[in-house]
Structure 1
């Protein structure tokens, strides 16, 4: 600082408060209204030479004590507190766009209008990410619950007019059969209705193509059965240049509880013991092999890894990256 600048600051400091009052009373130009909206919900990463774009459909308050089974209220609250959370937990509804270079595949589609204001943002985020719904070639659904299938519908027409929908035949046979709705628990009724309404235009256009069991859908993507949450719940394994990502649907609903305590199940699981076994199997496999995970209900973008230690499993969120070039082989 120059001698003249120091002298000016000293003179200002010695002025009486009354002399400064005109300066201090100048209105603040920064008094702008708060925006109170979030940034566009997309996040991109490269898996080898395959581009993965996470898309947020919305967030939904998850009533932990009403829907999580297999763990006491006090224990659940203690695990949530470790993550500075309390019920209800705001859960993300994520979908994942996979660009292999010659095919554009959407894995799950969010809730669309079926969750009211909590969902329905996937299409805007898809466009913000630089894509159009007309570019999507195929849609792979992990299962047919409302928050995964609802986004394919646009007021009774196909939201993705050029796409073919792939889903396990076990799930389509179950959720699209009215006879199953009649014998299922009442709280599952909206799931049957949502699946039937959302898929109706695709069925009419011959664009619903179920598959059976473990199936290679594309050279980079394999469907692997993961039943328990629903009869035909499916994991999609994406592989590129030696890297592997598992888009695992609803293996986890509440990360703060189910990673340290995988035995916690969900009221909406079709078969809770099977859902628990599948979760424990996938946790061990993903931790052992260092797989990437794309999770439907872990905080957006839902991309990360799993680590195992003496205290159980831990979620390691993806480190933020701006590097969009293919990984070295």
Structure 2
């Protein structure tokens, strides 16, 4: 049995239209959108050794990060996992075109969580950017951001995110639904499930694909530095460490790109 964690560096991503992995009937593609520097303050070090590793790895205090999304397709399914920012939507359209797709071809948009850098491409000019797609949230994530408490939350950021989810609901109507983690997401593509990674947000998920003894793990909010540290580090506001620990404890076979 082998385990693959999908990851890509900006240079590798720009050198090819996408990175592709075949898992049974499913073709999984990592599409590069854009690069952006993130401050190392998003990493929460628990030990002095972890602080040292951060300082060594990122002496300028910045993480040069690439914004990527996933496309999962096969047997009539064309699923986009996350959509990037609202401002990066042209990059997303260009990335889809490089693999022979357009927004109209997307049948499902699965959201790992409801932060703006993952949901921003869903609504453009007040209208659904993917006219034929169903939008999928985890049950916990959708319930959290549509609760009355979020509409009147003390934190402005929470109210803003709740309003953005409301705009998605308005644009897509009854095409917005939810799923349960641990179950196949599509009957046509068995073995592809959402994994509970709650903590970054209450309903945050990653994607896992299994086929013939091979497992592909796709943690959509993750840093390679986190995976190398023992004990594992995590993102700020991400108390859930079990997922990072499980990735560190598994034998990892890097995808060959």
Same fold (TM over 0.5): yes
1:257 Cα deviation from its structure 2 partner: 4.5
Are residues 182 and 88 of structure 1, via their aligned partners in 2, closer, same or farther at CA, if it must alter by over 3 Å? farther
Are residues 211 and 265 of structure 1, via their aligned partners in 2, closer, same or farther at CA, if it must alter by over 3 Å? same
Q: Which residue of 2 aligns with 1:248?
A: 219
Structure 2 gap segments, 5+ residues each: 1-13
- In the TM superposition, 1:1-329 aligns within 5 A as 42-65=18-41, 67-71=42-46, 75-76=50-51, 78-79=53-54, 81=56, 83=57, 86-113=60-87, 120-180=90-150, 182-183=152-153, 185-202=155-172, 204=173, 206-218=174-186, 219-250=190-221, 252=222, 254-269=223-238, 272=239, 275-284=240-249, 287-288=250-251, 290=252, 305=253, 316=254, 318-320=255-257
SS in 2 for 1:191: helix
1:262 Cα deviation from its structure 2 partner: 4.8
1:112 Cα deviation from its structure 2 partner: 2.7
1:96 Cα deviation from its structure 2 partner: 0.7
Q: Distance in 1 between matches of 2:34 and 2:163?
A: 21
SS in 2 for 1:215: coil
1:209 Cα deviation from its structure 2 partner: 0.9
- TM-score, reference length from structure 2: 0.80
Answer yes or no: is the 8 Å Cα contact 1:166–1:208 preserved in 2. yes
1:61 Cα deviation from its structure 2 partner: 1.6
- TM-score, reference length from structure 1: 0.64
State which structure, 1 or 2, has the greater radius of gyration over its C-alpha atoms. Answer: 1
1:126 Cα deviation from its structure 2 partner: 0.6
**Aligned-residue CA RMSD (Å):** 2.8
Greater strand content: 2
Q: Distance in 1 between matches of 2:28 and 2:19?
A: 8
Aligned residues: 241
- The structure whose RCO (Cα within 8 Å, separation 6+) is larger is 2
Structure 1 gap segments, 5+ residues each: 1-37, 291-304, 306-315, 321-329
Answer yes or no: is the 8 Å Cα contact 1:136–1:163 preserved in 2. yes
